[in-house]
A and B are shown apart, each in its own frame.
Chain A
Amino acid sequence: MITLKNVRKFYGSLEVIKGVDITVEDGEFAVFVGPSGCGKSTLLRMIAGLEGIDEGDLILNGVRINDTPPDKRGIAMVFQSYALYPHMTVAENIGFSLSLKKVPQAEIRKQVEGVAQTLQLTDYLDRRPAALSGGQRQRVAIGRAIIKKPSLILFDEPLSNLDSALRVQMRAELQRLHRQLKATVVYVTHDQVEAMTMADRIVVLNKGVVAQQGPPMALYHEPDNEFVATFIGSPKMNVIPVVATREGAGGLRLVGKSGLQLDLKVPDPGMPSGDIKVGIRPEHFRLTSEPQGGFSDEVLIVERLGVETYLTVGRDVPVVVRAEGDIAVRPGDRVSLTADPSVCHLFDSAGRVVRSAQPL
């Protein structure tokens, strides 16, 4: 189990990690996700020991390891570039950490073969990294990490340079490996799809703070703020500025601003009325024949994927709408849209959530 308590990092007077609290349980696959510059890689390097920690505690299995050198932490890291030593064979790469510890050659050979078996690298042990494919190099990098029997494995955007087909394949393979090794993993990526598909726990970072952490579906259904709401899910959630007015008992009427003819009634969450924002996911809009509690506008863009179609609707505040199947709509057509009030997220002007959608 690894715990970060109020961890901070400064570059000169610039604070890049602003008091982060994270706990990753044993055997958990945790993904740190966020846009570039959010501090996720810095945080990973701080856990690895490649960057110093200016304030706070880093605790691994009950021991504070802030000042422990990287190789004594029991943590292994898979680099974004893999960083396989090009002058060594696959076997030498995997066994390098053991040979540094003066482990007898026969023992190294045995352990390397065991790791190679797990990673299906047995046929490539005598090759150099230059003679391997991208996926094989990735596996060698993982092999170099797991031979140390670490209590925590760190991954720094390991799939970002692979082509999309290979990325999907490696995603499944990493999950299989995680189940097989029962290892605790901290994985950094900017790709929310990777986070959603692989993680037991997602930590969304924004500008050096944790925006929200939790299981993927919790973040999807109950985002704490506008940043998480728009970051998780693809295409991203539509956030529409509206004016809210109280209407009757326990009802709130939302009227779109700046030309958007949105008109929705939602249960009153007990908040001040006035300028707020409503978040509606593309998949939660419904196309209707006539406007009823919704709005109608012009279709600007149609993206057909066969199983689904994405429409960009409206000139002033464009919203993205997902429709099932291949529907007969062309750019320039007018469509009517409505959304179930129970799936609307409401955010105050600062972007904090005041009401999450109720799962349907």
Chain B
Amino acid sequence: MPASSPADNANKGRSDLLAYATLSLISIFCFVPFFWVLLASFDANAQLFLHWPDQWTLANYVRVFAKEDGAKWLFNSLFVVGCATVLVMILAGLGGYALSRTHSWWKLPFLYTILLVRVLPPTALVVPLYKILLTLNNAEGAVLRPLLGSYARAIMHWTGFIDGYFGLILVLATMQLPLALWIMKTFFDGLPRDYEEAALMDGATMTQRIRRVLIPLALPGLAAAGLFSFMSAWGDFLMPLIFLSSPELQTLPLGLFRAFLRVNQIDYGLLAAIAFIYLLPAVIAFGFARRFLVQTFAGGVKG
């Protein structure tokens, strides 16, 4: 390699400086909204514009939980998205394994077809989906109401397809499942069959093979699939908006949305506090799952 001349070095230095300056500007531009949310949520007198709080306070957060239904929203969001994620992880784990190990002719057509679910805009599916879930919900109601009488409504809040946790969990899980199946299928493709056969020779039953060999080996893949599902479902706004109507079932994004819509007064401090609470679980989930993503499983088979 020829030695670079001083002029080249100076040029390189200048262009590096320019690149870093541009990147810094873009970073700041992207970071400002988050910074505003953080500052405004602790500001007693929050404004639309970014400014350093004159007076630091927790009052905004207190109001979210005391005056508004913040705790309920948070619980609803965590419960619905958490259940959907667990459901996706179970189905994607089992399904991804099956898809990886089978040689059936329908394997590839099936894998590409389920990707369609991911490609189609969810908004376009809202009407038929609502229709199907409404029919299921009416059928469930027709069975439960005579059996449970006045308790039916309370039960249907948990098990209903419309305006119930169960329906929303199903819809959210369905939307996340295709990508998760692909992740798990690809993951199992890279996992040699030898592990399972070794366990078989060691005398492990089907359940022991899954619990003691496959699940520990699949953990990084499951963490990745779960992380993507959680983040994506956590950010979903449309489905809870359409399928939930009871105030006690509202999720965090709906709470934030309704607080924003209130006429006459826009309470930026309150909005920022809700937004920050809404952001936090996604960040925590990312930090948690990252550990599994980087965990290397080298060394079991010779390399």
Residues of A within 8 A of B (CB): 48-50, 70-71, 75-77, 79-87, 96-97, 100-101, 128-132, 134, 137-138, 144, 148, 161-162
On whether A130 and B299 interact (CB within 8 A), knowing A83-B192, A85-B213, the answer reads yes
The distance from the CB of B206 to the nearest CB of chain A, in whole angstroms, is: 12
In contact, B200 and A50 (Cβ under 8 angstroms):
yes
The distance from the CB of B187 to the nearest CB of chain A, in whole angstroms, is: 14
In contact, B300 and A85 (Cβ under 8 angstroms):
yes
B297 within 8 A of A: yes
| Residues of chain B with a CB closer than 8 A to A71's CB | 200-204
Residue of B195, B208, B217 with most partner-chain A CB within 10 A: B195
In contact, A84 and B300 (Cβ under 8 angstroms):
yes
Q: Mark B171-200, 1 if CB is under 8 A from A, else 0.
A: 000000000000000000000101101111
Q: Mark B46-79, 1 if CB is under 8 A from A, else 0.
A: 0000000000000000000000000000000000
B149 within 8 A of A: no
Q: How many Å lie between the Cα of A138 and that of B301 in the bound state?
A: 10
| Residues of chain B with a CB closer than 8 A to A79's CB | 194, 197-198
Q: How many Å lie between the Cα of A101 and that of B208 in the bound state?
A: 11
| Residues of chain B with a CB closer than 8 A to A134's CB | 302
In contact, A129 and B200 (Cβ under 8 angstroms):
no
B216 within 8 A of A: yes
In contact, A101 and B203 (Cβ under 8 angstroms):
yes
Residue of A49, A84, A85, A101 with most partner-chain B CB within 10 A: A85
Q: How many Å lie between the Cα of A138 and that of B297 in the bound state?
A: 18
B255-302 residues at the A interface, CB under 8 angstroms: 296-302
- Other CB < 8 Å A-B pairs besides A71-B202, A83-B197, A86-B300, 18 of them? A48-B201, A50-B197, A50-B200, A79-B194, A79-B197, A81-B192, A81-B194, A81-B302, A82-B301, A83-B198, A84-B300, A85-B195, A85-B198, A86-B297, A96-B199, A130-B299, A137-B302, A138-B302
The distance from the CB of A84 to the nearest CB of chain B, in whole angstroms, is: 5
Q: How many Å lie between the Cα of A76 and that of B201 in the bound state?
A: 7
Q: How many Å lie between the Cα of A50 and that of B192 in the bound state?
A: 15
Residue of A81, A131, A138 with most partner-chain B CB within 10 A: A81
The distance from the CB of A21 to the nearest CB of chain B, in whole angstroms, is: 25
- Within 8 Å by CB of B300, from A77, A82, A96, A161, lies A82
| Residues of chain B with a CB closer than 8 A to A85's CB | 195, 198-199, 213, 216-217, 300
A97, closest chain B residue (CB): B202
| Residues of chain A with a CB closer than 8 A to B296's CB | 130
In contact, A87 and B203 (Cβ under 8 angstroms):
no
| Residues of chain B with a CB closer than 8 A to A162's CB | 302
| Residues of chain A with a CB closer than 8 A to B299's CB | 84, 86, 128-132, 137
